[in-house]
Amino acid sequence: DFGTATPMSDGAEVATDEAFPVLDWHTLWAEPTTEEWIAEPLVPAGRLVALYSAPKVGKSLLMLEVAVRVSRGEGLFGYPEPESPSVVLYVDFENDPRGDVRERLSAMGYGPDDLGSLRYLSFPALAALDSEEGARQLVQVAESHGAALVVVDTISRAVRGPENENDTWLDFYRHTG
């Protein structure tokens, strides 16, 4: 007998099956396989999405357009429109509001009256997102606005660890992602 209880860090014991449940294959096969989308085909609901490419190819521009379209309830690339607009929190550590953001939004045909559900933080004083404090702050801001989508641009400026180190991204994932 391997026991039915597992000691937890706080001294409490819980049944092993409750603490470490295994997949029920029949339930898994019975569940629907359709993906829920925030912005089809780029942003599925409930998932972490990373967009990366060479520098200066338009990642920020693309994500700004995605953010605005989600906030307005508009579809992307001919895919169906969502059922309703969603609040989007855009956390920007890279782009100048006057020199980049306003210019890009104007070029897309949007003005102040079109951006009611887009919450934009420009160079916010958040703690690093690869820390517990940064994660807590970001979640607090996202929840206070009721955000369905959070965009962090550029993530390498939002973490304290070295950009090319695995531990930086593991800490980001553990705390914020």
Where residue 1 falls among pLDDT bands split at 50, 70, 90? very low
The mean pLDDT of 65-85, rounded to a whole number, is 93
pLDDT higher at 8 or 28: 28
Three-class secondary structure assignment of 13-50: EEEHHHHCCCCCHHHHHHCCCCCCEEECCCEECCCCCC
- Res 3 pLDDT > 50: no
Can you give the pTM of this predicted structure?
0.83
Nearest alpha-carbon partner for 108 in 52, 49, 67, 149:
67
Beta strands (DSSP E) in 111-158 are 118-122, 149-153
40-54: pLDDT as tens digits: 999 999 999 999 888
Where residue 8 falls among pLDDT bands split at 50, 70, 90? low
CA angle (45, 49, 53) in 5-degree steps: 150
How many whole angstroms from its chain centre is CA 116?
A: 20
139-156: pLDDT as tens digits: 999 999 999 999 999 899
